[in-house]
Amino acid sequence: MAATERIVFQPYVRGKRGAITPGTPVSCRSEAEGVRRAEKAMAGGSAIGAHVVRVLNDEEAGVYGDPEYLAALGVVPEAQ
C-alpha cells in the first residue's frame, strides 16, 4: 500500500503552573481546514495555540514519516 498523507490540527491548552499541554489532535482534510479549526478553537478559548502538521504514513509497512509543520498559531511549544 502507498503512503497516505494525514493533516492534523494539534491544539495546545494551558496546563498546571502555566505549562503548555497538548490537547486532543484532530484529523483534517486540508491545511486550510486545520488553520480554520485552530483559529476557531483559539477564538472560543478552548486552545491557546495550535500546530497544523502533515505526516506521510504507510501503516501496513509500519513506516511513519517525520512531521512537517505547516502552521503555528498562538502559543505553541518549540517544534523539535
* Residue range 26-34: mean pLDDT, rounded: 95
The set of residues, in sequence order, having a beta carbon less than 8 Å from that of 7 and lying 6+ positions away, is: 27, 28, 29, 30, 31, 33, 34, 52, 53, 54, 70
pLDDT digits (tens, 9 = 90+) for 13-29: 998 888 999 999 999 99
**pLDDT at residue 1 above 70?**
no
pTM check: above 0.85:
no
Give me the mean pLDDT over the 33-41 stretch. Answer: 95
